[in-house]
Amino acid sequence: MRSIGSSLLLALAALAFSTPAAAQEWRMVIHGGAGTIERDRMTPERDAEIRAALSHALETGAAVLADGGSALDAVEATIRVLEDDPNFNAGRGAVFTAAGRNELDASIMDGRTRDAGAVAGVTATRHPISLARAVMEDSPHVMMAASGADAFSLEQGLEQAAPEWFHTDERYEQLQRFLSRDQADASDLAGADYKFGTVGAVALDMDGNLAAGTSTGGMTGKLYGRVGDSPVIGAGTYADNRACAVSATGAGEYYIREGVAHEICARIRFLGETPQQAADFVQAETLELGGTGGVIVLGPDGDWAYSFNTAGMYRGMIAAGAEPQVGIYGDE
Ligand code: ASP
């Protein structure tokens, strides 16, 4: 007969070696815009700078997720980093409107509750993604626009920024080129060269919750009041634990008409498609309308995809136990 002491020891050993309920493996996928991004148009310095910026953003989100933080917090933290980076068309470094202003759009969605928040045409908030989250959490609304959203930002005590903060010479010169373009190019308003750099993130946390967010300056030379797909829930951003999280980047006029982000989630949910199948299908249909761009998609089981029909898309992925990856061109 075993003594009580040895039984206790056996019980303790069993406890020590029993595996706890497996925590969900976390993952994050990001993009920094899609467009005419080709090797021969990039300097090695710029290539390295973009890769470093994407890696830094991924590490920011990974730190939140690896610590057991929520997908929502990871998405917001990652996008804040990209908004501060002048390499991207969001926050600092945003493109200019035809009137020479920076008007910013952003949205965020929680896949657990399907709560969502969005802002359009805001001009004075350093991190529009945080303003979108404030709309979601601290207002009774889903979307707020222009001066009203700017006022709400002040009221919420979010960090404000002067117009100079958002201004970069490169984007301003892009506007001058756009304004002096040949009228034959007028149809190129949606042209990839005039906008790329929108940022987005999708994340899956250890609790199995998904979230998605997108932030942008929109398109160079956009007209007064123009709003793209990025702040439109269901077009540029969508998250639903039952299906997937999506962030899109591309010619907003087409992404809105296709309802890209929701359409991808609906195909996964109702047709049982994988993220790659659903993303490729919806991207192809959007292209039929005339819309170029790309999406990142992440499912509740960690399955994920990039899909783009432009020459390149700034992108990256990081996950528990996997090598982080970043990419720029279509052939890598
Ligand atoms: N989708 C953005 C917009 O139309 C632009 C982009 O993603 O490049 O405002």
Q: Measuring CA to CA, how many Å separate 210 from each of 37, 57, 103, 124, 165? A: 29, 18, 28, 29, 32
Has residue 189 got a pLDDT over 70? no
- CA-closest candidate to residue 311, choices 328, 296, 297, 288: 328
Residue 15, pLDDT score: 45
Give 7's pLDDT tier (boundaries 50, 70, 90).
Answer: low
CATH code for the domain defined by 22-329:
3.60.20.30
Q: Which of 125-134, 147-156, 182-191, 211-220 has the lowest mean pLDDT?
A: 182-191
Residue 17, pLDDT score: 45
| Ligand 1 mean position, distance from CA 98 (Å) | 15
Has residue 9 got a pLDDT over 90? no
Coil, strand or helix at 256:
helix
- CA-closest candidate to residue 102, choices 111, 112, 110, 93: 93
Within 13 A of 316's CA, how many CA atoms are on the CB side? Answer: 25
Q: Residue 121: left (phi > 0), alpha (psi -120 to 50), or beta?
A: left
CA–chain centroid gap for 121, Å, is 17
Could you list the active site residues?
Answer: 198
In the chain, where the domains are located: 22-329
- CA-closest candidate to residue 216, choices 62, 318, 92: 92
The conformation of residue 88, written as its DSSP 8-state character, comes to S
> Ligand 1 within 6 A of 33 CB?
yes
| Ligand 1 mean position, distance from CA 65 (Å) | 27
Choose which residue among 79, 196, 229 to substitute to test ligand 1 binding: the one with the highest number of ligand atoms within 8 A of its C-beta: 229
Dist CA 166 CA 176 (whole Å): 17
